[in-house]
Structure formats: structure tokens, C-alpha cells
Amino acid sequence: MESPKTELQRVTTASNEMNEVNDCAVRAVAHASGVDYRKIHSMFRINGRRNRGRTFVHISDKVMQTLKMETRDITQTVRRYGKTIKTAQQFLTRGTYLVSVRGHVLCIKGGTVMDWADGRQHRITQVLEVTNPGQWVIPVAKFAKSEPTNPTTPQPQTTHGLAYPLRRAFGKQQTKCGQ
């Protein structure tokens, strides 16, 4: 088990190598699951997240369902003891949590904020407790790169912009890093 500081540096280095920004949800799920950042990043991309773009909540939900992450909403319990990241960090000393603030999501593991927002006074909007830590199922075949069978045959275009019409049609929430 690596220290939180080492894990944070490992995920940050992987994100920087991929020239990523606005990837707070990818980082949070990578920290919460303990799975390599690159694998989680490819899962988000396959589920519709654009590189260097915002992550919509329904995409994060799909990735967590694929990993079979079980979560429990404990927002009301946490709000009794603290309403900001700084105060919640003191209360959430055991376990793994995904914490949402306006426009950002982060992971708190064992009382350590695994994000740049450590010690900030951002107001919490939602807290999800990860109830099955370390029991992730990664479907390798689904996320492996496959070569086209016949390179002369045109391949169907993927619709990476699908999330934007869904947001307009269904009012889906979105998260944006760095705010």
C-alpha cells in the first residue's frame, strides 16, 4: 500500500503525461478505486468523455457501474459535522469517499484529500461513501484496442459529442475542474 502522497504524485504524473485538464472525475475514480489512471481514463473516454474536456455525471456513473463500485449517499450525515472540504476531511477519517463541490469532484481516503483542493473552504454538495473498496472488476476485453479487420473498409464514426445533446435534453449535471 503506497502512501497517499505517493499515490497523488503517481496519478498527477500520469495525468500530466497525457496532457489532461478538467479530469477531476477521472482522478477521483482512480484514487477511489486504486486502479491505474490510464485504465480509468480510457474507460471514461470509451463512455463518452472528450480528452481535455468536462466530465458529465452520467459518464462517471457508467464508469462506476462498469467497475461495480458500490456507493452510499451520506451527504446529510456529513453536513451535520462539516459543510466544507476542510471540515469534512476531519470527519471522514476512515474509508473512501467521493466528494462533490460545485464544478468539481475529489476523493477523500482515510482523512486525506487526494486533490489540489486540500484544506479549501469549498461547500460540499454531495458525499458518496465507497462501500466495497478494493473489489473492482475491470473488463479488459472491452477496453483493449482492436485493429480493424479490413483497413480498406471505412469504420463507423464514434459520436463523442453525445453528452452535450443529452445534457440539453435531460438537464444532466456536469463537473468542471479548477473552480
Quick check: 170 pLDDT over 50? no
- Which of 67, 55, 77, 70 lies closest to 178 in space, CA to CA? 55
Q: Tell me the pLDDT tens digit for each residue of 28-83.
A: 999 999 899 999 999 999 999 999 998 999 999 999 999 989 999 999 988 888 88
Tell me the pTM. 0.73
Given this model, what pLDDT does residue 130 score?
Answer: 93
> Contact at 8 Å (CB) between 22 and 16?
no
Quick check: 12 pLDDT over 60? yes
Domain spans in the chain, listed from the N-terminal domain onward: 4-133+162-175
- Higher pLDDT: 69 or 175? It is 69
Given this model, what pLDDT does residue 133 score?
Answer: 66
Beta strands in the chain (DSSP E): 55-56, 71-73, 96-101, 104-109, 112-113, 124-130, 174-175
Q: Tell me the pLDDT tens digit for each residue of 128-161.
A: 999 886 666 665 555 544 444 444 544 444 444 4
> Contact at 8 Å (CB) between 125 and 101?
yes
The three cell numbers of residue 82 are 462539516
> Which residue is listed with cell 451535520?
80
